[in-house]
Amino acid sequence: MQPIRNVYPMSAFNILIDAYCTAVNSSAPLEGRQFVMDYARTQYGLTPADAEMLWEYFTHPQEILHRGGKDSKNQTVDEVLQNCIKLRDKFAKVVSKKNQQEFEHYKLILDIRINYLDYKKIEIFYESPAYDRSHDTRLMNELKSILAEAEALDKRFVAINKGYLKENQSEYINGIRTEKMKALYQWLMKNQ
């Protein structure tokens, strides 16, 4: 049985555990923005400007893409992708002074999202009435690039989650994430 939605392991979310513990130990509601600002300063040694960037990262919309290639806010996959790329470009400039490996999870999560959206653009076109076999070579070349990027992401995922996940669990998660990409690529190759 495959999960409907793949989620990143908890190895990246110590901040959620700490936020939960803070909320449980307080009679006042947790102020999310202030918590992230404080966490960014104490856990990562970020400047106030970089802490703001971390808040932007956490509050960036993560809408599900529907079959028609749009999210629930009616943005196309291209728009969602471009927004993620802009966020990545800004977020890449943020460097943690402490707990670098934990912080690197955030960058990896965003890179995985962008890789997924790159693939979704192809899948959506492939399933559209505009697709015909004359597009196969172009789609295969694009998929080849996406799969190469996915392979690099797989290696980062395995390295950063080493010691957290069970043996071979990283490979399993990576396999699920790239399964549809590889299947579409194989299908297009067969039809050449």
pLDDT for residue 23: 96
Q: Is it the case that residue 95 has pLDDT exceeding 90?
A: yes
Give 7's pLDDT tier (boundaries 50, 70, 90): confident
Instruction: Dig out the tokens for 187 from the structure.
Output: 């299908």
Per the prediction, the chain carries an average pLDDT of 93
Collect all residues with Cβ–Cβ distance below 8 Å to 18 and sequence separation of at least 6. 39, 43
Name residue 142's beta-bridge partners: none
pLDDT digits (tens, 9 = 90+) for 146-173: 999 999 999 999 999 999 999 899 999 9
Q: Is it the case that residue 2 has pLDDT exceeding 90?
A: no
Name residue 65's beta-bridge partners: 71
First to last CA, the chain: 32
pLDDT for residue 1: 60
**Burial (CB count <10 Å: 0-12, 13-18, 19+), residue 162:** exposed
Q: Is it the case that residue 127 has pLDDT exceeding 80?
A: yes
**What pTM, to 2 d.p., does this model score?**
0.93
pLDDT for residue 70: 85
What span, in angstroms and rounded, lies between the C-alpha atoms of 189 and 192? Answer: 5
Instruction: Dig out the tokens for 12 from the structure.
Output: 């990246």
**Burial (CB count <10 Å: 0-12, 13-18, 19+), residue 143:** buried
pLDDT for residue 56: 97
| Mean pLDDT confidence for 123-129 | 93
pLDDT for residue 68: 78
Q: Is it the case that residue 185 has pLDDT exceeding 90?
A: yes
Share of the chain above pLDDT 90, in %: 86
pLDDT for residue 188: 93
